Structure 1
Amino acid sequence: MTDLLPPPRFVAAGPGAAPRAIAVRSFAGAAPSLVWLGGYRSDMRGTKAERLSALAAREGLGFCRFDYSGHGESGGRFEDGTISLWLEDAKAAIAAATDGPLILVGSSMGAWIALLLAREAAARGDGRLRGLLLLAPAPDFTRRLVEPALSPAQRADLETQGFCTEPSAYSDAPNIYTRALIEDGARNLLMTGPIDVPCPVHILQGTADPDVPAAHAIDLVACLPGEAVTLTLIPGGDHRLSREADLERIEAAALDLIGRTQNA
């Protein structure tokens, strides 16, 4: 199949003499710009990212998507990644490719990254962030979802070889969880109390998600103070939320947040 997308540009993330090369695709437009934050082991060319890119183009908005280090077209090894490093990647891509008001769209682990960015924006009084759209959000997934499900053999592997694996429902290659990822995740936990978010939040969560249960999204809502939080539970929705009806819901939620920003 012919690849019609132009090649990405690369931005540097991280300190030192050998920064990580982060692949970014973006285009300029009116505010607010949409920023896609993908999930664990995903890349920026998935169905939802493509749909949001098309939406932004139709609406004349700016759009940014990128691959974390060790993902997709970016450099680095996946096994070296942590939440802190992938947060740095997100900051580098956003700084290089956007200007003005933003709406962050975070899928699964990307919702964790989006919420960390939002908390930092609130702490420094940054008014650029105008909305969060969180899809099957998985903040704190290392502590709340991965660790409780580890078998004794997997825990032993983490201790002896620094990583463990489990079969993936989405790839022939297994999921890999490193001790560094889990330890770093513990330093980035959010759902231990109120999360200060300076903008409206809309969460879309499937009721048949085998990876992130709906109860996790409900727990997240309890951590988001304020009245500008919407949770939409999608009957029969799985983790990918890529059925046509799911994609239409994502578009509608994005358009609602866009409208709030433009009418403010």
Structure 2
Amino acid sequence: MTMTSIKLKKILDERLLSDDYRSSFNRDKDTYRIEWQDTNEGITITLPNVIAKYNSKGDEAIDELVDHIQEALKIMNEEHELTGMEKQIYPVVRATSFPDTTNAGVKLATREHTAETRVFFAVDLGKSYRLIDEDMLEKEGWSLERLEQMARFNVRSLKVSPKHDRVADNDFYFVATQDGYDASRILNDAFLEEMKANTIGEMAVAVPHQDVLIIADIQNNTGYDILGQMTMKFFAEGRVPITSLPFIYDDSKLEPIFILAKNKPKK
């Protein structure tokens, strides 16, 4: 069956809608949204991305999406306490364009990161996680500084076992454990410094989407081209895209770069 956005919307409505939810379809943006009737909290899906997965995986792609939506909607309707969950709190990296308030108008807890990225914070719930908002912090009597310190400590405890690939005399390392916090490992300063100490050329870092962290040891100009193409490809295919721009890592700082074909990047 040739899948279209209209067909996919109909399938999702049949599998998800109930008296508790309502759905909407934005034809201009080609997105599908389903939300709780009472709170307006919900999840928005970019349909072309799902169709692309359906074309390669078939009905399995829709089954996975439905499971993800149901879990997310369930979490949105639950009360979550932070006390007692300290070891399950992690930082989450998102694009700066990612909304920093909930649909109910509550501001999410965030920290500035780079010109391209912002850090949010989440409490891990097993299959999914809940982004932490300022109301939750106020209720617990926590400061943002305490939350950030806790989250950064926890991300440093996550396993880091990069897979290595050498292309055109450049070394590329990929962290992709699929635990939901691969991109978050860019906040593990000790890991970045260890990688920097072992690089031969210039070190670059990329978080094109939530489920991958790329570290590159660039040893010639071809390496920049490869990194640029790689980052763009991952960004286009990711379930939660972050940024298609890589970063140069130098002096413990991340600087976004534009990579021009056949040329060294411009800061």
Q: Shorter-chain TM-score: which interval? A: under 0.3
Q: Which has the larger radius of gyration?
A: 2
TM-score, with length taken from structure 2: 0.27
